Amino acid sequence: MVSRVIPVEPFDLVIFGGTGDLARRKILPGLFRRFCAGQMPPEARVIGAARAEMDTSAYRTFVSEAIQEFAGVLTCEDGTLDGFLERMHYVPIDARGENGWSELADLMRDDVVRAYYFSVAPGLFGDLAERLNLHGLTDEATRIVVEKPFGRDLETARALNRDLAAYFDESQIYRIDHYLGKETVQNLMAVRFGNMLFEPLWNSQYVDHIQITVAETVGVGGRGEYYDKSGAMRDMVQNHLMQLLCLIAMEPPSKFDPDAVRDEKLKVIRALDPVEPHHIVRGQYEAEEGAPGYREEVNDPRSRTESYIAMKVGVSNWRWAGTPFYLRTGKRLKARCSEITVVFKALNHSIFGEQEDHRNVLSIRLQPNEGITLGVTIKEPGPGGMRLVDVPLDMSFADALGDHASDPPDAYERLIMDVIRGNQTLFMRGDEVEAAWAWTDPIIDGWETRGDVPKTYDSGSEGPVDAVQMLARDTRVWRKVAS
Ligand code: BG6
């Protein structure tokens, strides 16, 4: 299968925070991979901007090291890394002062797409937006890209939206949720809306429940300071799991265009029920041999922040009322595994007499080993009557599509190219983010008011036993967390 790469228009991409961790690990390696794929036109340039005093030549060394460490397999022919580095520039800049802005203005070109990536703390978004405007660095075609966390509650998210809206139209603002850039997350839409098979059954009449799991094996590591102020709810549920839920639950948009898709996602978020406290389990991982527990890692023996969360969520609309969505995510779990499972209802009448409970289960595996499995019921081979057994119709995307699927572009690669193309479909709109916080805030406020303490769970386990019990009360079971 041949991958089609359509070059984008020439651009000047400025990365504020150009020496930061995200730039080093994701943005620069992602750009390099797109360059290797032939998607960056010769006129495209990347301008790192940060407080550090360095010149363009030192920045090129920094970029080269980042690429060697994080770009993965370098498929470029000899010499092309240099070709890529030639497009790199650097300007030392002060987001809150005047230093560097006129140098940046001298560097920017008028006849190319201008994009500004705010890979900085959200507290600087407003300052950057203001200075870009003040120094005449924007026009109506300019795009800005902002990273999560987009606020820590509704109030702060609204303030950020207001700060950006003072200088930019919504059509110019690209709020990144990197889950939307994952190949298989987009496949959720392809599976749902590109097949006749599933959509007629995709509702509470046929679906018993849906599980969304994002399990990680890593702990909070060096991010303890940030993480302990966020927890799994703010770090993962309010954004990544919420987006997955939206793509699974939304009505078919009339077309695959930014506002049609985002309008439908917004309706899902607004239809989410408030969550009862007994429908949530929060957990914190304990130490294991050679690895510290959560509280040690964040250096706070009394921390009440959750590194795991499981919850039962209702979507009150015509399609889903009565079908629960079970969400769970956590760190230091048994395996790295993100998947969405749609468990269909049992047959309402079996012509084969008394049988065990057999159901169709559709499982969409997001990472790793991307693919789809559909559990179907067949006859167990051999004599002795009509005994039924469930078997998987298993499709790994790598097996079905070859190399093309086994090395998909990283989420950031796709999203950055979408910014240059001016396609906002895979970015969150301001009202979506606010609606997500409006649903999240009362849940977090409830924990704080009641002083809830997370349950502990063993590192390397599937999470707290209370999460298992939560489903058992509904006579359901979680899918195994397995890689
Ligand atoms: C980030 C969270 O947004 O997503 C991290 O801040 C988490 O805590 C990461 O580890 C997971 O992303 P991925 O792409 O590895 O599933």
Q: Which residue has the tokens 């057994």?
A: 389
SS3 48: strand
Which amino acid is residue 324, in one-letter code? P
25, 152, 214, 235: residue to mutate for ligand 1 pocket, most atoms within 8 A of CB = 235
How much distance in Å is there from the Cα of 119 to the middle of ligand 1?
16
Which amino acid is residue 326, in one-letter code? Y
pLDDT value of residue 76: 64
364 occurs within a structural domain: yes
424 occurs within a structural domain: no
pLDDT value of residue 370: 86
- Residue of minimum CA distance from atom 5 in ligand 1: 235
User: Do residues 128 and 262 share a domain?
Assistant: no
Facing residues of 16 across strands?
49, 118
User: Do residues 103 and 188 share a domain?
Assistant: no
User: Do residues 132 and 221 share a domain?
Assistant: no
CATH number at residue 31: 3.40.50.720
Which atom of ligand 1 lies at the shortest distance from residue 239's CA?
Answer: 3
User: Do residues 327 and 403 share a domain?
Assistant: yes
109-125 burial, b at 16+ Cβ within 10 Å, e below that, comes to eeebbbbbbbbbebeeb
User: Do residues 228 and 358 share a domain?
Assistant: yes
Per-residue pLDDT tens digits for 362-412: 999 998 888 899 999 999 998 888 888 999 998 887 777 776 666 677 899
CATH number at residue 219: 3.30.360.10
pLDDT value of residue 386: 86
User: Do residues 143 and 258 share a domain?
Assistant: no
pLDDT value of residue 360: 95
155 occurs within a structural domain: no
User: Do residues 18 and 92 share a domain?
Assistant: yes
User: Do residues 201 and 142 share a domain?
Assistant: no
Residues in the chain where the model's pLDDT stays below 50: 1-2, 78
Sheet containing 173-175: order of strands = 88-92, 45-50, 11-16, 113-118, 143-146, 173-175
What is the rounded distance in angstroms from the CA atom of residue 265 to the CA atom of residue 289? 43
What is the rounded distance in angstroms from the CA atom of residue 444 to the CA atom of residue 115? 35
User: Do residues 188 and 140 share a domain?
Assistant: no
Domain stop point among 131, 147, 163: 147
User: Do residues 140 and 187 share a domain?
Assistant: no
pLDDT value of residue 1: 47
Per-residue pLDDT tens digits for 34-86: 998 889 998 999 999 999 999 999 999 999 999 999 887 565 654 588 899 99
User: Do residues 225 and 124 share a domain?
Assistant: no
Domain that holds residue 434: 180-409+429-472
Q: Taking CB atoms and a 6 Å cutoff, what residues make up the pocket around ligand 1?
A: 216, 235
2 occurs within a structural domain: no
What is the rounded distance in angstroms from the CA atom of residue 14 to the CA atom of residue 106? 13
Torsion of CA 82, 83, 84, 88, to 10 degrees: 80
pLDDT value of residue 3: 56
Dihedral angle sign, alpha carbons of residues 295, 296, 299, 302: positive
Facing residues of 379 across strands?
388
End-to-end CA distance of the chain: 27
456 occurs within a structural domain: yes
479 occurs within a structural domain: no
Domain stop point among 147, 171, 199: 147
User: Do residues 21 and 80 share a domain?
Assistant: yes
